[in-house]
Amino acid sequence: MSVTDSTKASDRPGSSTLWYDARTEQVMPWTSLFHDEQALAQAHLALADVLREDYDMAPEQLPGLVGEVSAKAEESDGELVPAAASDPATDPEEGEGTGEGELPLGDADLTDPEQAMEAAERWSASPLADLAFSTAGGLAVRMDPAQIPGTGRAEEALIPIEAEETEESLSELGYRARDAAVNGNSVPAERVAETTGDTEGRTLDCAEAKCVALTFDDGPGEYTEELLDTLAEYDAQATFYVLGSLVEEFPEIAERTAAEGHEVGSHTWKHDDLTSLSGDGVREDMERTSEAIEKATGKAPRTMRPPYGSHNSTVSDALGQPIILWDVDTMDWQSRDTDAIIDHAVSEVDTGSVVLFHDIHKSTVDAIPDILKELHSQGYHFVSVENLFADGQLSEGEAYTDARLE
């Protein structure tokens, strides 16, 4: 829920989550995801660790209750003593703790709806009030980017907490909510092998989530495996539009790309302008390229990208695949400037964007870690082209630039 209080000086809405327990048919506050308030405090400490380690925040920079819980834990060697249950809740607009130097830490049983609701009122200033579970099973905490250095242009910052950091803190409802997040968007069993690579049967509903497709042309090449390592660190899927001639030369790289869950699409045999070919010439090129890709990866490409984005009615009629273009061209092939590539990608991306890169350039591969970090902080999920577009949305011979929702 987002609530704007018109009586306050700031019109920035406050946000919190409610959870529906299908077993008891009750609406529960966010605090009920944790078994008690000590567990709730431990979740704040886990968030503080992420902010310190991943965002280089000093202890004194940690905002509000996160900083207070961290400071109290450090003062007491990790022993957080519950305060009186009547401690006043903090005004979230003030961005401070209880105002008395005391944490709102009680001894409530958060599996009890009434006690969980009372705890939610005491902890109303907590950033964990607006949280979700990631498809990897961790927590995703939405925070004001003004409180976090290095989030750049982001309108919001989505801070990830790894699943193992809160494994012992969740209640039974928390575990069931996490399972629903991890498994709730699973595709039917018959489609798992076709759509999700080795992602354990999980896919993402991009009609609901903030998705972007990063695409890489002209490989595989000498920098592709470095790029795959980077993508793996962020559990990011991408789409590689490869040349059949290079797949034939480097089949092991193409095989690894597909094995790690990325989409491998066709970019012709050797980067010819398809509009210079006859219909039969286009079909021959596509068949030769598809055969090389299927031989290396075990799967024929489902989408294709014409070199230079060049296509006409002859090309469209001859193709047996959807044509995927782009709405964000990083111009990496021209600038060869890592900082310029980062700035262009981050500033132009929107939900549903298809972003054009070339993994044959070292400057591009060097840019990807910062691009992933920045877009991740803004809440983006990195998906394949097939995942970006809804089922049945792609038609053979039709051209698509993006899946923006507006």
**Exactly one of 217, 218, 332, 359 is catalytic; which is it?**
217
pLDDT at 13 over 70: no
The answer to the question of residue 8 being in a domain is yes
What percent of the chain clears pLDDT 90, i.e. is strictly above it?
48
Which among 311, 358, 361, 376 is annotated as catalytic? 358
Let me know if residue 341 belongs to a domain.
yes
Examine residue 405 and state whether it is found in any structural domain, yes or no: no
- Rounded to the nearest 5 percent, the helix, strand and coil shares of the chain are 40, 15, 45
State whether 63 and 149 are in the same domain: yes
Q: Last residue of some domain: 130, 149, 183?
A: 183
262 labelled catalytic: no
Residue ending a domain, among 183, 217, 233, is 183
**CATH for 284:** 3.20.20.370
Residues 331 and 298 reside in one and the same domain: yes
Q: Are residues 89 and 139 in the same domain?
A: yes
pLDDT at position 148 is 79
Give the pLDDT confidence of 106-165 residue by residue, as tens digits.
788 888 888 999 999 889 889 899 888 877 788 988 888 778 776 555 556 778 898 888
* Domain identity same for 340 and 261: yes
What is the structure's pLDDT at 163? 85
Query: Over 90: is that where the pLDDT of 271 sits?
Result: yes
pTM value?
A: 0.55
Q: Which residue has the higher pLDDT, 100 or 83?
A: 83
Strands 399-400 and 323-324: parallel
221 and 177 in a common domain:
no
| Catalytic residue status for 358 | yes
Instruction: Answer whether residue 368 is part of any domain.
Output: yes
Q: Which domain holds residue 231?
A: 204-400
Count of positions (residues) in the chain: 406
The residue with greater pLDDT, 339 or 1, is 339
Query: Within this chain, do residues 75 and 112 fall inside the same structural domain, yes or no?
Result: yes
Q: Round the average pLDDT of the chain to a whole number and report it.
A: 84
Last residue of a domain, one of 183, 215, 236: 183
**Are 179 and 213 in a shared domain?**
no
Domain count, the chain: 2
pLDDT digits (tens, 9 = 90+) for 374-391: 998 888 999 999 999 876
382 is a domain residue: yes
For residues 164 and 239, membership in a common domain is answered with no
pLDDT at 194: 35
Q: Same structural domain for residues 174 and 228?
A: no
Task: Identify the band that residue 98 occupies on the pLDDT scale cut at 50, 70 and 90.
Answer: very low
pLDDT tens per residue, range 49-97: 999 888 888 888 898 889 998 888 888 776 665 554 334 344 444 444 4
Is 113 within the bounds of a domain?
A: yes
Q: Are residues 21 and 100 in the same domain?
A: yes
Within-domain flag for 356: yes
* 19, containing H or E segment: strand 18-21
Adjacent-strand bridge partners of 263: 239
* 220 and 145 share one domain: no
In a domain, 350, yes or no: yes
Are both 153 and 272 inside the same structural domain? no
**Cα(12)–Cα(348) distance, integer angstroms:** 25
The C-alpha angle with vertex 16 and arms to 15 and 18, in degrees rounded to 5, equals 145
β-pair type (139-143, 131-133): antiparallel
- The position carrying tokens 């803190």 is 169
Q: Which of 246-260, 338-352, 376-390 has the lowest mean pLDDT?
A: 376-390
- pLDDT tens per residue, range 176-211: 888 877 765 443 333 333 333 333 334 567 877 789
